[in-house]
């Protein structure tokens, strides 16, 4: 499994709009992507910071999304973002939810 971590600075008072956009626009788009497994979004207590983790079955599918689907997501979220989004990628070591464990 493969993960993409997106770190975002949010505009003031934009958490409700971010949540709406994620539920109504971004997640439906993600569900159409080959290999998409899950999306988890975290909002900081002050509502100024957020990060999202998307999980993918394979690195290749995450990379395809990065090139083909992610540009649309950045446009959808632009009204609530303040500054540049940071993207990091990871191999998933374990997940109790997805019943994965690290290789011995």
Phi, then psi, of 100 in degrees rounded to 5: -110, 150
Q: Where are the domains of the chain?
A: 2-91
pLDDT score of 1? 93
Two structure tokens written together for 16: 């409700």
Starting at the edge strand found earlier in the chain, the sheet holding 86-91 runs 36-43, 49-56, 2-9, 86-91
Topology annotation, domain 2-91: Alpha-Beta Plaits (3.30.70)
pLDDT tens-digit profile, the chain (104 residues):
999 999 999 999 999 999 999 999 999 999 999 999 999 999 999 999 999 999 999 999 999 999 999 999 999 999 999 999 999 999 998 887 766 555 54
pLDDT score of 104? 42
pLDDT score of 97? 76
Who contacts 73 (Cβ-Cβ below 8 Å, separation ≥6)?
A: 26, 29, 30
């Amino acid at each position: 499994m493969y993960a993409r971590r997106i770190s975002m600075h949010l505009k003031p008072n934009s958490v409700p709009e971010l949540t709406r956009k994620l539920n109504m626009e971004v997640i439906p788009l993600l569900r159409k992507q080959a290999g998409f497994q899950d999306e988890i979004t975290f909002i900081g207590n002050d509502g100024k910071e957020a990060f999202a983790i998307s999980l993918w079955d394979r690195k290749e599918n995450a990379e395809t999304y990065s090139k083909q689907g992610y540009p649309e997501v950045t446009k959808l979220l632009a009204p609530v973002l303040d500054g540049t989004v940071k993207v990091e990628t990871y191999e998933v070591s374990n997940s109790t939810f997805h019943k994965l464990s690290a290789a011995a």
